[in-house]
Amino acid sequence: MNVPASPEQPTTSDLDESAQQSDWRPWERLGELAEAGDAIGVENFLSKLGPNDQALALNRLDEEHYCAVLTLLPAEEAAEILRHLSETQAAELVDSLEVSDAAAIVQEMTSDEQADLLGDLDDDQAESILRALPPEDAASVRELAAYSDDQAGGLLVREILRFNQKSLVHEVITTLSENAEEFRDYDVQYAYLTDDDEKLVGVLPMRNLLFAKRTDPVADIMILDPLSITASMPLDELRDFFDAHHFLGVPVVDDNHKLLGVVHRNAVDYESTRAAENDFLKSQGIIGGEELRTMPLWQRAKRRLSWLSINILLNIGAAGVIAVYQDTLSKVIALAVFLPIISDMSGCSGNQAVAVSMRELSLGLVRPTEMIRVWLKEISVGLINGSVLGLLVAIVAVVWDGNPYLGLVVGVALCANTLIAVSIGGTVPLLLKRLGFDPAVASGPLLTTVTDMCGFFLVLGLATAMLERLI
Amino acid sequence: MNVPASPEQPTTSDLDESAQQSDWRPWERLGELAEAGDAIGVENFLSKLGPNDQALALNRLDEEHYCAVLTLLPAEEAAEILRHLSETQAAELVDSLEVSDAAAIVQEMTSDEQADLLGDLDDDQAESILRALPPEDAASVRELAAYSDDQAGGLLVREILRFNQKSLVHEVITTLSENAEEFRDYDVQYAYLTDDDEKLVGVLPMRNLLFAKRTDPVADIMILDPLSITASMPLDELRDFFDAHHFLGVPVVDDNHKLLGVVHRNAVDYESTRAAENDFLKSQGIIGGEELRTMPLWQRAKRRLSWLSINILLNIGAAGVIAVYQDTLSKVIALAVFLPIISDMSGCSGNQAVAVSMRELSLGLVRPTEMIRVWLKEISVGLINGSVLGLLVAIVAVVWDGNPYLGLVVGVALCANTLIAVSIGGTVPLLLKRLGFDPAVASGPLLTTVTDMCGFFLVLGLATAMLERLI
C-alpha cells in the first residue's frame, strides 16, 4: 500500500525501538496479549514496533491470533498497520478476517488503498466486504478497482482539498485551520479548485495563501488550467510525467474534465519499486504473485510447479538433441563432460544480454523495433567473450583429454553458441515486448531452451563430422 | 539522479509531445542543430521532448555531438536534463565534457546530485571538476562524496530553508516571498530552525505560518525537538523510517546535532527502485555497474567476462564429477541425455527459493539467523515438487528407453537434487547476508555449482550402484 506523505512532524519517540536485537521475538508477546484479549496492551505494544517488526510479528502469528490482534485494534490503527505491510501480506491477513471486521478497517483506508487491497483479496471476500461498506464508498471503490495498480485510476486518492473557485482566501484558510486534524492525512501542499460543475479549473499551492490578501477570491492566486491526466494513464507514462515535472501530485480528470482525484508521486515511486522487484522475482521463476513462506504449502508448491513443469518439458525437448547423437557420444564419451558446461555458459551469456535489453527498454534507450541495432551491438561482445570462453574450455579439454581435436570441437561450439546466446538474449525481450508478452517471465526459458538445443547440436554435430579424429 | 519535488505548477504544455511515433528519430534533428551550433534551436528542440526522448536522443548522438549539445545549452538547462537521465548515462556524458563546461553544469546541481554524479565519474575527471569548482562548493561535495548513494549522507540536500529560531513569522514570510523564485527548487514544505550554533532546534511546517500572528517569533509555532537522523544511516533504515513516518523529508544532523541538510522521501524512493533494479541486473550476471550499449565495446565485454570466467571455472569443477564416472556413462550412454535436464531443473528450483528468500529479507519477514526455519519451509515444498518432477522425468526415461531402472535412477536423482537445490537456494541468501556479501550476486553461481555437482553425482552414483540392471 502506498504511503501518502503528510506534513505532520511528531517529536522524537519510537525511532530507537525499531532497532531490535536479532533474538527478540515480538510475536510471542503479541500473541499473549491477543490471547488475553488485552486491546490496550496490543495497541501499545504494536505502537512501539517499527514497521518491519510489525510485519514480522503479524507474519509469525497463526491465523487465530493475528485475526484477534487486528480486531482488538481500533479500525483506524489496524488500517495504519496494514498500510505499511507488503500488499501480499496485507491481503493474506484481511482474507482471513470476519467480513464485518474487515469492512470496518477498509473504511479507514484512502480510496487508492481500498482499491489496491480489494484487488488482492479472494473475489468472494472482496465482494462481501464491498457489500458491507456504505453504498457510496462501495461504488467509488468498484469504480477505482476497474483500474489496475499500474494505471492512474488504480493509484489516485479521492481525499483531497477541493474548493469552488469562487471561495475567498480567508474561507480556505479557515477551513484549513478548522480541519487541520483531518487534512493532516492528505497531501495538503495544493488545493484543487473546481467550477460549479465539478470541473477542474485551477490548482492552488498552499504557499500562495501566505502572500495573498485574505479578502481576495482564491481564483486570483490559483494556477489556471493546470496539467492534468486521465485515469487510464499507464505507470510508465506516469513515471515519465513525474520525471518531467517536479510535482508532488497531479490531478486526474474524466472525459468531461471532472476532477476525480490526485495521483501522488509517492504512489508512482512505490509502484515502480514494486515493478522492478517483480521483474526480479519473475526472472527467478516466481510467477503469479509473490510468495511468502507463511502461505499454505500447497499454494506455494503449485505456483512454483506451474513454472517448473513448463521448464522441464522445454528441457526434455532440448535433451532430445543429445539422444539423436547417442552413437557419437558413446564413441567419444568425453563429450558428455562438456555438454552441461556449454549449455550453462551459453545460458549465462544470454541472460546478461537479456538483462541489458530489459534495462535499456525500461530507460527508453532502445525501442522494441530496433532489433537489428541491438543484435549488432551484441554480436561484437559475443565474438570477444565467445572466443575467450571457447579458448578457455578448449585448453581444459586438451589438457585433460590430450586430444587437440576435442578441444577444437568444444571450443568452437562454445564460441559459436555464445554468439547465438547473446543474439537471442539481446533481441528476445524486444520481440516479446512488441508482441505484448512480459519479457521478465518469458525471456529466460525461451533463451535456455534454444541455446541448449544449439549448444548440444554444435558439440555433437561437430564431433560427428570429425569423428575419426576424436576416437 | 533523484528529483526533489517542488510545488511549482506550470500550465499545460509539452505533455503530448512525449508521445512520439516509434519511427521518429529525435537525435538526427538534434545532431543537425548541434552541428550548426544553433544554441536556441537545441534548447527549444530539447524542451519539446519528454525525458525519455531526451535520454534517447543524447544516447544516440556520437561524443562530439552530445558534447556540443550540452555546451550549447545554458548550464542550468544542461543540469536539468542530466537530472532526468539514469546516473550511468549522465556520468557517461559528463565524463567526455571539457572540465570547464562540466564544472559549470555541476555548479547548477543540488548538493546530493553533485555527490551522486562525481561519484560515478572517472576519478581524474571528478578531481579536475572539483578543482574547477568554487572552494566552498568543492569542499561540501567532497564531504558528501564520502558517503555512498545508500547512506543518508549521500542523499541529503543542503539547499533547504534555514532560519534562526529567533526570527519572527513576518520575517520568514517576507524571505519566502522575496526569494520565491529560488526556493521553488527546494522542498519548501518545512523550514528548519537552528540556534546560534547551527544546531537543529525545530521544524516549521509552512502551513503553520497561515495560522500564526505575524509578529510572533517562529519558535512559538515550530515543532520542538523534531526527529532527525545521522548522515551514516543506511538506505534500508531510511526506507523503514519513511514507512513509519509520513514525512516528505527528514533533517540530517552531525554528532554535535548541527544541521547538515535534509533527506527527501523522493530520494529514498528513487534509490530503492535503483536497488531493486540492480538486484535484477546482478542476478542476471551484469556486475560492477549497469551496462549501456553505447559504452565502449571493450568495457562491455570485459565487465561481462569477469563474471563469465568465474562461472566457467565453477562449471568445469562441476563437470569434473562427470569425468569421474566416465566408465558408467560409456556403458549407459542414455544417462548423458538426462544430465543437463537434472542440472538445469535443479537450478530452476533453487533460484525460486533464492528469490523468495531475498524477497522476505527485503520485507523484513525473515532474519538472516533463521536458516533452520527457512530450510524446514523449503524441504516441504521441495518434497512435493521434487516428487512430481522426478516422476515426470522417470516416465519420460522409461517411455523413451524402455528400461524401468533408468527411470528409477533419473527420477530419484532429480527428486533428491530438487530437495538439495531448494535447501541451498533458500538458506544461502541468508548466509551471504550474515557474512556481509551481496546475495543478489553470489547466490546464483554458488547454487548452480553445488546443485550441478550433486545432480551429476546422484545420477551417475546411483547408476554405478545398479549398473548391471541398466545395461
CB B283, CB B440: distance < 8 Å: yes
Cβ within 8 Å, pair B266-A270: no
User: DSSP states of A362-419 as a string?
Assistant: HHTSS-TT-HHHHHHHHHHHHHHHHHHHHHHHHHHHHHHH--HHHHHHHHHHHHHHHH
**pTM of the model as a whole:** 0.84
pLDDT by residue (tens digit) across A45-73? 998 888 888 899 999 999 999 999 999 99
Residues of B in contact with A90 (CB under 8 A): none
Q: Which residue of A has its CA nearest to B360?
A: A292
CA A93/CA A98 separation, integer angstroms: 11
Angle between helix A51-60 and B235-244 (nearest 10): 80
Q: How high is the pLDDT of residue A93?
A: 93
Residues of A in contact with B326 (CB under 8 A): 333-334, 336-337
Cβ within 8 Å, pair A345-B284: no
Q: Hey, what's the cell of A67?
A: 485475526
Q: How high is the pLDDT of residue B14?
A: 38
CA B216/CA A313 separation, integer angstroms: 76
pLDDT at A139 over 80: yes
pLDDT by residue (tens digit) across B165-196? 999 998 988 888 887 766 665 556 788 999 99
φ/ψ region of A309 (left if φ > 0, alpha if ψ in -120 to 50, else beta) reads alpha
Check residues A20 and A170 and name the one with the higher pLDDT. A170
Using the structure block, give the residue that is written with the C-alpha cell 511546517. Answer: B205
Domains of chain B: 25-150 (1.25.60.10), 155-282 (3.10.580.10), 295-467 (1.10.357.20)
Residues of B in contact with A337 (CB under 8 A): 319-320, 322-323, 326
- How confident is the model over B424-444, as a mean pLDDT? 90
CB A196, CB A113: distance < 8 Å: no
Q: How high is the pLDDT of residue B441?
A: 82
Using the structure block, give the residue that is written with the C-alpha cell 530507537. Answer: A16
Cβ within 8 Å, pair A344-B377: no
**B263 — phi, psi (to 5°)?**
-100, 125
ipTM: 0.85
Q: Hey, what's the cell of B363?
A: 520485507
Residue among B363, B385, B414, B451 with most chain A CBs within 10 A, to mutate: B363
Q: How high is the pLDDT of residue A22?
A: 57
* Closest chain A C-alpha to B131 CA, distance in angstroms: 31
Q: Which residue of A has its CA nearest to B373?
A: A293
Q: Hey, what's the cell of A183?
A: 487534512
Residues of B in contact with A173 (CB under 8 A): 210-211
- Mean pLDDT in chain B? 88
Residues shown for chain B: 471
pLDDT at B321 over 60: yes
List strand residue ranges (DSSP E) for B195-326, in order: 200-205, 223-224, 229-230, 249-253, 259-264
Q: Using CA atoms in the order B61, B63, B64, B66, what is the torsion angle rounded to 10 degrees?
A: 50
The DSSP element (H or E) to which B249 belongs, if any, is strand B249-253
Using the structure block, give the residue that is written with the C-alpha cell 505502537. Answer: A47
What is the gyration radius of the CA atoms in chain A, in angstroms? 29
pLDDT by residue (tens digit) across B334-363? 999 999 999 999 999 999 999 999 989 888
CA B56/CA B25 separation, integer angstroms: 9
CA B298/CA B301 separation, integer angstroms: 5
3-state secondary structure of B449: helix
Smallest Cα–Cα separation from B86: which of A4, A373, A359? A359
Q: How high is the pLDDT of residue A187?
A: 53
pLDDT at B206 over 50: yes
Could you tell me the pLDDT band of residue B431, with boundaries at 50, 70 and 90?
very high
Q: How high is the pLDDT of residue A79?
A: 93
Give the HSE-up count for residue A381: Cα atoms under 13 Å, Cβ half-sphere: 30
CB B50, CB B16: distance < 8 Å: no
Q: How high is the pLDDT of residue A283?
A: 85
Could you tell me the pLDDT band of residue B244, with boundaries at 50, 70 and 90?
confident
* Closest chain B C-alpha to A33 CA, distance in angstroms: 21
Pick from B56, B330, B341: CB nearest A330:
B330
Q: In what order do the strands lie in the sheet with B229-230?
A: B229-230, B249-253, B259-264
Cβ within 8 Å, pair B285-A173: no
| DSSP 8-state class, residue B289 | S
CB B417, CB B455: distance < 8 Å: yes
CA B367/CA A52 separation, integer angstroms: 11
pLDDT by residue (tens digit) across B284-304? 888 878 888 888 899 999 999
Residues of B in contact with A206 (CB under 8 A): 7, 206-207, 210
pLDDT at B275 over 60: yes
pLDDT by residue (tens digit) across A390-447? 999 999 999 999 999 999 999 999 999 999 999 999 999 999 999 988 888 888 888 9
Angle between helix A334-363 and B439-465 (nearest 10): 160
The DSSP element (H or E) to which A69 belongs, if any, is helix A63-72
Q: How high is the pLDDT of residue B8?
A: 40
CA B311/CA A350 separation, integer angstroms: 13
CA A57/CA B64 separation, integer angstroms: 58
User: DSSP states of A99-168 as a string?
Assistant: HHHHHHHHHTS-HHHHHHHHHHS-HHHHHHHHHHS-HHHHHHHHHHHTS-TTBHHHH-B----EEETT-B
Using the structure block, give the residue that is written with the C-alpha cell 531493486. Answer: B276
**B249 — phi, psi (to 5°)?**
-165, 160
* Closest chain A C-alpha to B222 CA, distance in angstroms: 10
- What letters, b where the CB count within 10 A reaches 16 and e where it falls short, cover A274-284? bbbbbbbbbbb
Task: Give residue B109's identity as a one-letter amino acid code.
Answer: M
Smallest Cα–Cα separation from A315: which of A453, A414, A459, A461? A453
Count of other CB atoms within 10 angstroms of residue A32: 14
Q: How high is the pLDDT of residue B420?
A: 97
Pick from A240, A265, A316: CB nearest B18:
A240
Check residues B392 and A21 and name the one with the higher pLDDT. B392
pLDDT at A140 over 60: yes
Residue among A58, A184, A207, A307 with most chain B CBs within 10 A, to mutate: A207
Q: Hey, what's the cell of B106?
A: 555541476
Angle between helix B51-60 and A235-244 (nearest 10): 80
Residue among B277, B361, B372 with most chain A CBs within 10 A, to mutate: B277
pLDDT by residue (tens digit) across A352-383? 999 999 989 888 889 999 999 999 999 999 99
Smallest Cα–Cα separation from A317: which of B346, B405, B396? B396
pLDDT at A7 over 50: no
Q: Give Cβ neighbours of residue B435 (< 8 Å, ≥ 6 apart).
A: none
Residues of B in contact with A291 (CB under 8 A): 356, 359
- Mean pLDDT in chain A? 88
Q: How high is the pLDDT of residue A179?
A: 77
Cβ within 8 Å, pair B11-A225: yes
Cβ within 8 Å, pair A315-B341: yes
* Closest chain B C-alpha to A173 CA, distance in angstroms: 7
Give the HSE-up count for residue B312: Cα atoms under 13 Å, Cβ half-sphere: 28
pLDDT by residue (tens digit) across B44-83? 999 888 888 889 999 999 999 999 999 999 999 999 999 8
Q: For chain B, how far is it from start to end, CA to CA, in angstroms? A: 65
Q: Give Cβ neighbours of residue A77 (< 8 Å, ≥ 6 apart).
A: A43, A46, A47
Pick from B188, B244, B389: CB nearest A51:
B244
